[in-house]
Amino acid sequence: MKLKTLIVLMIMLLMSYVPAMAQGDPDVINPEDTTVAEVITPAPATNLSASDTPNDHGHSIDLSWDLSVDDGAGMNNVIGYMVYRATSMDGPFESRSGLLLKTTDYIDAGAINEYENGYMPDHTDYYYKIRALTADTAVYSDSEIFGPIQSYGQWFNWERLAVLLMVAGFLFLTVFFINKAKKGADLFVRRLAGIEAVDEAIGRATEMGKPILYVLGLGTAADIATIASYTILGRVAKKVAEYQTGLIVPCYDPIVMTVAQETVKTAYLDAGRPDAYNEDMVYFVTNQQFAYVAGVNGVMLRERPATNLYMGKFYAESLILAETGTVAGSIQISGTDEISQIPFFVVACDYALIGEELYAASAYLGKEPLLLGSLKAQDYAKAGVIFLAIIGFLSLMFGYDGITDFFHVR
């Protein structure tokens, strides 16, 4: 009976920490877990050190310390720690954390704006101490005070260096090869069956006197696959204008529609046939996935286009479109970077551009040296990836994981 009351009392004591926990951090203590025999002032936490949090926007300090010798050993009466901060050596100190259990570090981050609660100005001296707490609120011990320390923001996030190096490296490769191409170097690019089929398909449509259906997919204007698709549309529209074939471009996203209209118009101008351009070649259907599919299906069966091109982002509708196109007897060429949909296009279309080939298509179709330059850059980057992978393997074999860490970007 006595034991029970004691436990209840202890739980109640612990509960008094709950408000502190409310703003706390990971490892908040669970009252049932701790069994404390008796309460004597414990040894304090030692070796407290603090530094400005690296790679951040400021308003934050990293703290670390060593556990009290009475935590989990010795008297075993430390149940956790709390971080206290003041703006002068003499205090007043205020608590900055919840109850931290068996923790040796903490990030004291404050709000960045003056009007917010808990604003923590940069370039101000702060003093920290760590309080080792016991089950009795009155019994605790403080570490030595560390300070002064200031927080400040950085201009560059070094953790993201790997990304910067990749962007810079790739930018360099692209510019290098484009310059090379400008100077007239002959850049070899192998035959790409799927992409050459686009040319043939346009020819076929001309012979048959039937239009070409170009589907930009369900991508919004915010998808790079859609940007790649505009450029392919540009090339296709130019050929179509030259051959005087019809072009139908039903759109899903209204912004994409506007861009596509501009693209097709430009292509007709380039081909020297601005008169043949009609605003209604590129039109809006609807902004809902399956309603759009229903509409496009209707066009396929009624206009019977000679060729259907699907380029961009596609989701579940890919197979519905491709199967209907087969029924209508059109030649179908697809290209998407949406990995889960590539299998359906591969199965149901005559030609399928897989992933990267979609991005290559825009460069390849135009055969402009400038664009081919970027294809070269892509190839060299791939070689770089393979090289990195091999280095990665080798380093892991010798037990060094620094390279893996370097590429682990948060």
Partner 1 sequence: MARSKSISIIILLVVIALFILSWVIKATTFESDPDRISLWFSVRDAFFITMAAFLTLAIFSFLYKDNPYYKFAEHLFVGISAAYWMCVGFWSTLVGNLVPNISETLSTFFKVPYKGFHFTYFVPLILGIILLMRLSSKHGWISRWALAWIVGTTAGLNLIRYLRTDFISQVSNTFVPLLVDWKGVGPFFSDFSLSSTGQFAMTLSNWVIFIGVFCGLIYFFFSKEHKGIFGTASRVGIWVLMITFGASFGYTVMGRVSLLVGRLTYLFKDWLGLIS
Partner 2 sequence: MKRQFPLALVFIFGFAMIIQYFIPHQHSEWVNAFFMDWMMIIGIFALALGIWSLTRVSWDKVKHKRENWQYAIVTLAGLFLMIFFGFDYFRHFSTAVGSDNYMYVHFYQYIVIPIQATMFSLLAFFIASAAYRAFRARSLLATLLLIAALVIMLRFNPLLGPLQPVMEKFSVWLLNVPNLAAKRAIVIGVGLGMVATALKVILGIERAYLGKD
Partner 3 sequence: MNIFDRMMSLDRRWVFLLLAVVCVITFVWGFSVPITISDEVEAIYNRFDALQEGDMIYMSVDYDPNALAELHPSTYAIAEMCFRKKVKVIFGTLSNLGQGMVHQAITDITDSVKQDATYNGVFYEGREIQNGIDFVFLGYKPYPAMVIQAMGLDFRVPFPTDYYGTPIDSIPIMQGVKNFDQCELVLDLAAGNVAEMWITYGHGNYGVPLCLAVTGVMGADLYPYLGSGQIFGLAAGLLGAAQIEKLADNPGRAMDGMRIQLFAHIVIILFIVMGNIGFLATRKRHKL
Please answer whether residues 119 and 108 qualify as being in contact, where contact means their C-beta atoms are separated by less than 8 angstroms. Answer: no
How long is the chain?
A: 410
Tell the smallest beta-carbon distance from residue 100 to partner 3 (Å). Answer: 12
- CA distance to 284, 285, 303, 304, 330, per residue, from 298 (Å): 14, 11, 8, 9, 14
**Residue of 163, 327, 385, 388 interacting with partner 3 (CB under 8 A):** 327
Between 130 and 331, name the residue whose CB sits nearer to partner 2: 331
Q: Is 108 in the site for partner 2 (CB under 8 A)?
A: no
Q: Is 403 in the site for partner 2 (CB under 8 A)?
A: no
The one segment of 24-32, 46-54, 113-121, 247-255 that binds partner 3 by CB under 8 A? 24-32
Between 33 and 279, name the residue whose CB sits nearer to partner 3: 33
Q: Is 342 in the site for partner 1 (CB under 8 A)?
A: yes
* Beta-bridge partner residues of 119: 111
Q: Which does 189 bind (CB under 5 to 8 A by kind): partner 1, partner 2, partner 3, none?
A: partner 1
Between 169 and 203, name the residue whose CB sits nearer to partner 2: 169
Q: Is 387 in the site for partner 1 (CB under 8 A)?
A: no
Q: Which does 267 bind (CB under 5 to 8 A by kind): partner 1, partner 3, partner 2, none?
A: partner 2
Q: Which does 404 bind (CB under 5 to 8 A by kind): partner 1, partner 3, partner 2, none?
A: partner 1
Q: Is 219 in the site for partner 3 (CB under 8 A)?
A: no
The one segment of 99-107, 139-147, 169-177, 399-407 that binds partner 2 by CB under 8 A? 169-177
Site for partner 1 in 115-174 (CB under 8 A): 160, 162-163, 166-167
HEC-encoded secondary structure of the chain: CHHHHHHHHHHHHHHCCHHHHHCCCCCCCCHHHCCCCCCCCCCCCEEEEEEECCCCCCCEEEEEEECCCCCCCCCCCCCEEEEEEECCCCCCCEECCCCECCCCEEEEECECCCCCCCECCCCCCEEEEEEEECCCCCCEEECCCEEEECCCCCCCCHHHHHHHHHHHHHHHHHHHHHHHHHCCCCCCCCCCHHHHHHHHHHHHHHHHCCCEEEEEECCCCCCHHHHHHHHHHHHHHHHHHHHCCCEEEEECCHHHHHHHHHHHHHHHHHCCCHHHCCHHHEEECCCCHHHHHHHHHHHHHHHCCCEEEEEEECCCHHHHHHHHHHHCCCEEEEEECCHHHHHHHHHHCCEEEECHHHHHHHHHHHCCHHHHHHHHHHHHHHHHHHHHHHHHHHHHHCCCCHHHHHCCCC
Q: Is 26 in the site for partner 3 (CB under 8 A)?
A: yes
Between 95 and 395, name the residue whose CB sits nearer to partner 1: 395
Site for partner 1 in 284-303 (CB under 8 A): 284-288, 290-292, 294-295, 297-298, 301-302
Q: What is the CA radius of gyration of the chain?
A: 33
Site for partner 1 in 171-210 (CB under 8 A): 187-190, 192
Q: Is 354 in the site for partner 2 (CB under 8 A)?
A: yes
Determine the Cα–Cα distance for residues 249 and 275; give it in Å rounded to an integer.
Answer: 18
The one segment of 17-25, 139-147, 227-235, 361-369 that binds partner 3 by CB under 8 A? 17-25
Convert residues 127-166 into a mask of x (bound to partner 2 by CB under 8 A) and - (unbound).
--------------------------xxxxx--x--xx--
Residues that contact partner 3, how many (by CB under 8 A) = 11
Site for partner 1 in 250-279 (CB under 8 A): 255, 258-259, 262
Tell the smallest beta-carbon distance from residue 244 to partner 2 (Å). Answer: 20
Between 26 and 399, name the residue whose CB sits nearer to partner 3: 26
Q: Is 21 in the site for partner 3 (CB under 8 A)?
A: yes
Give contact residues for partner 3 (rule: CB under 8 A): 18, 21-22, 24, 26-28, 316, 327, 339-340
